[in-house]
Amino acid sequence: MHRIKVRINAKDFEHDVEPRVLLVHYIREKARLTGTHVGCDTGNCGACTVILNGQSVKSCLLLAVQANGAEITTIEGLTRDGLHPIQQAFMDKFAIQCGYCTPGMVMSASALLKVNSAPTVEEIKEAIEGNLCMCTGYQQIVSAIEDAAEKMKG
């Protein structure tokens, strides 16, 4: 067992974990934040995307012990006073169907918009290329991210 300390959504967590526990499972089971989805467990779908120390990462590809001392934001961390503008844009632009990919898409978009407030369509596509959607199609998602960028600027 290894003792880890992490800060998730501005709240401190400290637990003993087995070295093989994936960060996605730590977030869901120890922090009890279930908005981060478990999809493929191989890094292909992006459903488990979170922000780790300012970077978009797939939490199924990291061990919890690798996140020791990290600052993590999950989808729950975006919603402090109502929906985040990205979440609202996803609703407004019909970029949600089953919703399974949505948290990962939103987190990838959030990471992009923190460093680029006016991304091009190509930059948006590049930012979400590691996130798969089997229901909606990507045009609505790209449109939602464009809309969120515009609203967050003003």
Q: Shortest CA distance to 39 belongs to which of 66, 55, 56, 60?
A: 60
Instruction: Provide the residue range defining the domain that includes 100.
Output: 85-153
- Whether the full predicted model's pTM is greater than 0.95, yes or no, is no
Among 77, 112, 141, which residue terminates a domain? 77
Q: Looking at the predicted structure, is the pLDDT value of residue 137 above 70? A: yes
* 154: pLDDT strictly greater than 70: no
Per-residue pLDDT reduced to its tens digit, 109-133: 999 999 999 999 999 999 999 999 9
Number of domains within the chain: 2
In this structure, are 115 and 134 located in the same domain? yes
In the prediction, which pLDDT does 97 show? 87
Residues 6 and 69 occupy one common structural domain: yes
Taking all residues of the chain, what is their mean pLDDT, rounded to a whole number? 95
- Closest by CA to 56, choosing from 132, 108, 124, is 108
User: Last residue of a domain, which of 19, 45, 77?
Assistant: 77
The CA-atom distances, in angstroms, between 88 and each of 8, 82, 151 are 22, 9, 10
* Mean pLDDT in residue range 82-105: 93
Cross-strand partners of 4: 15
